[in-house]
Each structure stands twice: as C-alpha cells, then as structure tokens.
Chains A and B, each alone.
Chain A
Amino acid sequence: MRTEPLLFELGAPGRRGYTLPECDVPGKVEDYLPAAACRRADAALPELSEVEVVRHFTHLASMNYGVDTGFYPLGSCTMKYNPKVNEAVAALPGFTNLHPLVPVEAAQGALELMYNLQEYLAEITGMDAVTLQPAAGAHGEFTGLAIIAAYHQSRGDLERRQVLVPDSAHGTNPASAAMAGLEVVQIPSDERGLVDLEALQAAVGPRTAALMLTNPNTLGLFESDIEAMADLVHAAGGLLYYDGANLNAIMGITRPGDMGFDVVHLNLHKTFAAPHGGGGPGSGPVGVKKHLAAFLPVPVVARDDAGRYYLDYDRPQTIGRIRSFYGNFGVMVRAYAYIRTLGASGLKEASEQAVLNANYMLARLRPYFKVPFDRVCKHEFVIAPPKEVNEAGVHTLDIAKRLLDYGFHAPTIYFPLIVHEAMMIEPTETEPKETLDAFCDALIAIAKEAVEDPEVLHQAPHNTPVRRLDEVGAARNPVLRWQGK
C-alpha cells in the first residue's frame, strides 16, 4: 500500500489551482498598511494545480478507516453507525442557515427541537431537567460537578470537596473533578469487578461531595448494588453523578434517575448516533433532579403558557454560561432525528441488541482468551490474552496491531486500568452476525499465530500504509511541524 506525501512536498513553484481576478485597488498593499503589519517574506504556501489537490485529499480519504468502512469495536466509545437520514435532516436549510443571534420569534422551530430533546433525554434518563449546552462528555462532567459544588455551597455545606471515583472509572472522571477544584478519592473494585461496598462505606462522610459512577461500569458489568450505594452516599449527604458513557446498555430498561442518581451526563455522539471521533463536534447534555434544576447553566430552553419557546436567563442560582450560544446545535438535530426514528420501543431494542451482540462475542471468545470477570456482560466486555500468548512474549498491543492486518479497527486496549493487558470490545447494536463472527475468527486466529509465530505479531501491522509507528520515539522526541528539506 502506498502512503501520501504532504501537500508541501507536492507541486512546483508558480503552479496554481486557479487565477484571481486582477486587483481593482490601485497600488500595493504596502501603500495602505503600516510596515509592521506587512510580511517581510512571502508565505511559504504549497503551490499545486487543482487536480493535484483533489487527488491528494482523495488518496487520504481512501486511507481513512471509519464506521462506514468497517467494524469499529472501540470499547467504552460506542462507535455506532450513524444513520444517513440524520445527516439529511441536519442539512435542512432551515437549520443550517439559522443565525444564532436571530430573535427567538424567528427560531421557534429550532427552540422547539431543543426543548423536545431536553424532554426526551429527561424521560430516557429519569431526570427532571436537562441542559444541552456542554460540547462533549468531559465538558458535561465538568458542568455536572460545578452544579453539585454550587448545590452544596448554596446550603452552606462548604466542607464537601471530595469526589469518590471507582478505580475502574473513565479517566475523565478524576480529571473533571480536579478541573472543578475538587479532591479525588479512589474507591477500589472487589473480586466481582464491582465497586467495593465496604471501601465505599469507609470513604463516605461529611466531606463527600459526590460519587461518580458509570453503570454498567467500564468492565461492561452492571453495578447490582447500585441502590445500596445510592443510599450510602445520600445518607452521608453526598450526591450521585452518572457518567453516561455506557447508557447504550440500558435505554428503555432502567434509568439512572430510578437508580438514585442526581446528575447525569450523556454523550449524544455515542448513544444517540451523532458522528463521533475525528475531533467532533460532540455534545454532552446534563440532566439533573429537581433539587438541582436551579443551578443549570443559562440559557435554558423554556416554553411559556402560550406555547412559545424562549431562552430563560432569569435563573439567579445558575452556575452561569458554560458554552458560547446554545451548544452544538447540529449534533442535537441528529440525536433528535435518531430518537424520533427509533421511538421508545426502538431505543429499547437498540440496547437489547447491543447487549446481545456483546454477549455473543464473549461466548465465542471465552474458550480462547482470559475473561477476568466472567459474568453475563452488558454492551461491552473485557478480555485479556491467555497465558500461553503472554509466555510467547506477545502483548495486547501486538494483537491490536495484528487486527489491522485483518482489516478491523482494534478494540480499546489497556483500559480499564484494573485489568492487566486488557482488551475492551464493544460491538454496538447495528453489526450483523457475520461481522461479529469475522472479528471473533480473526482474534482466535491471531491468538493461535501468537503462539506459533510470535514475530508476525511483533512486526504487525504488515498491510497498512505505514507499519508500526514508533510511539515511544514520538513521545520522547516529538517533531511537531514540517520543516522542509
């Protein structure tokens, strides 16, 4: 397979894609601008013809791998297929041509969509009020924690600065807590792969601001003690924060609000099929129970008695504005279309199918891999290479690289941190059985190769445009810009 040079390495001096019309302003730029504002030397821009530019980007696009090209089982990330009808809806000119500063009277349709989406998300999560503003999951976490901190402060409860985070948590949880100025306390998992209740009991107290938890957790296991955990934390005066990264396992079956959570963030770019990865944009709405609604960021999309929609800024206890304008509106349109297309029964079926797919794969892989916490899983599961593979000197990284040769995106690796050599696989609901089987077959074949010919894995990938990258060299000695010949 070929690689593609950089734009700067293509073309020739003087070559142009198109010709600008002659300048109708007399004189030169220097005649109009102070000397300090003028370039001393010409910008070293690439010089190419139009067809060279088109071919360059077409080559790059053909090397891209996404959910539209193949299976993408990145655990915890929910890289689900994004139905094309959502794109068509989001591209409607009524949405794309809407300026964020038009008066609300001229944006009633967009506001109605946002209002309804708030209501749907509240219903799906069992919450009372929702903000659509956060631009991504971690931004949602930060917003949720700011709301929790504001709640405790409003009650004069100033000592609550600790956020309890299980050791299986997403790395963003402790990071968001630290960003919000709170102190992180780690809670260990027990031998079931669930939160250690005794350790939680020992950690909660008058300094507990909140427990952050995802359920199912990052091992893909349902925290069956969730009600006892909620009681423990609430009895101590703390709140429960739900990381919505794993909501795809439970839609229509159970709700964070019913489990006792006070705050939840969602990832529209995961669970609600908005495009994901490649820099976004994402969307991380936050839902809260009644007692926290006053602290939501402004503006909140509201409806008056006459059925008109408006942006409510009159909320004295708000944590303030956390995003320019109203969040990533285009992502909301896609999520709205997704929810309306599937309906309540369709969302439930999506979760059921996601869980079934994961359990099917786990059952197929169980005889060939180590399953550290072997129970019925939810929408994702964690396995590790068997002993004989490790003894052959082959690591999870080598297996992940070898999967590329078989034409698959690798699963999440080395996460969660509590499993040695972890591989975390999340198939999502839309994959046909043939794809699940092909991926399992590839993993099983690779486990066999690892023992018979470990070098093949150490050298992998073999069939990609570039071979194994020197990640260590890149991290220790980063070269961050192109410097020419």
Chain B
Amino acid sequence: MEFPTNLYYSKDHEWVEVEGNRARIGITDYAQESLGDIVFVELPQVGDELAAGDSFGVVESVKSASDVYAPVGGKVVAVNEALLDSPQDINADPYGKGWMIELEMSDPAEVEDLMDAGAYRQLVKEEKGE
C-alpha cells in the first residue's frame, strides 16, 4: 500500500497535492482498496464553492457508496471527467490518473490541519485493527 510523502491526507481518506494555491484531490490507496472495484463516480461542477468538510462527490463500489469530502475549502477549477467513463482509474492509480478535482484554495493554511504520510499510515494501521 502506498503513502506518497509529497501529499497531505485527511482522516476521511482523501489526499491533497498542493501546488501554489491549487490543490489536487483524490482518495487514497487504502480508500480504494477498502471500497473494492469502483463502478461509479459523481463529481462536482467547475465553479462550485466548497468549504473544508463539504461533500463534493460520491464513489460507488460493489460494496458501498461513499461521499467524498473536501479536505480543504475553495473553488472547483477542474474535475477529472475521464473518471465518469473509467472509474476503475481510481483503483489502478489512485494518486495519478485517479485524481478527482482541483481546487483554488480559499485558505491555503487549511492544509496545516491535515496529516502527513507518516501520521496517515498510522491511522490506516489503527483502522485495520493492526
């Protein structure tokens, strides 16, 4: 299971890649593995305003459907529309082709509240009961 060190992580199993005041967001390797084969993805519209903690979409697998939450707030500037036709990209490449949205952050300091790879790895360990 991968935990790239250049990313920030939320307790709801989203990752954030920060570049300037832009944040690219997706779900983690652990999240995709727990969900199993993803069969449907719902994404927001470009231009939507999100506050940190807002639900911005849905990922649905054969096991369950889960809301996906914005780890930081901002305006949606891009969505990965390729996922609508090929949701399996999230399973195959959660940190690459499986990205979901890009935000223009309203308060870049919000990333300070997120976890680094080490802390997130620990959280996953606890959730798996190890």
Q: Are A384 and B62 in contact, CB atoms less than 8 angstroms apart? A: no
Chain B residues, Cβ within 8 Å of A472:
37, 39, 62
B83 → chain A, closest Cβ, in Å? 12
Q: 8 Å CB contacts to A: which residues of B91-130?
A: 127-130
Q: Are A417 and B130 in contact, CB atoms less than 8 angstroms apart? A: no
Interface residue total, chain B, C-beta cutoff 8 A? 16
Q: Are A370 and B129 in contact, CB atoms less than 8 angstroms apart? A: yes
Q: Known contacts being A387-B130, A417-B64, is A475 close to B34, with CB within 8 Å?
A: no
Contact of B128 among A397, A414, A417, A420 (CB under 8 A): A420
In the complex, the chain A residue whose C-beta lies closest to that of B88 is: A476
A252 and B66 CA atoms in complex are apart in Å by 37
In the complex, the chain A residue whose C-beta lies closest to that of B11 is: A188
Q: Are B129 and A384 in contact, CB atoms less than 8 angstroms apart? A: yes
Chain A residues, Cβ within 8 Å of B130:
387
A471 and B39 CA atoms in complex are apart in Å by 10
A471 and B38 CA atoms in complex are apart in Å by 11
Q: Select the residue from A370, A415, A475 with max chain B CB neighbours within 10 A.
A: A475
Q: Known contacts being A420-B34, A472-B37, A476-B39, is A414 close to B127, with CB within 8 Å?
A: no
Contact of B127 among A387, A420, A471, A476 (CB under 8 A): A420
A358-394 vs B, Cβ < 8 Å mask (1 yes, 0 no): 0000000000001010000000000010010000000
Chain B residues, Cβ within 8 Å of A471:
37, 62
B82 → chain A, closest Cβ, in Å? 15
* A-B interface, 5 closest residue pairs, ranked by CB to CB distance from nearest: A475-B39, A472-B37, A471-B62, A414-B63, A476-B39
Q: A residues within 8 Å of B by Cβ?
A: 370, 372, 384, 387, 397, 414-415, 417, 420, 471-472, 475-476
A-B residue pairs in contact (CB < 8 Å), sample of 11:
A370-B129, A397-B63, A417-B64, A420-B128, A420-B129, A471-B37, A471-B62, A472-B37, A472-B39, A475-B39, A476-B88
Q: B residues within 8 Å of A by Cβ?
A: 34, 36-37, 39-40, 60, 62-64, 66, 87-88, 127-130
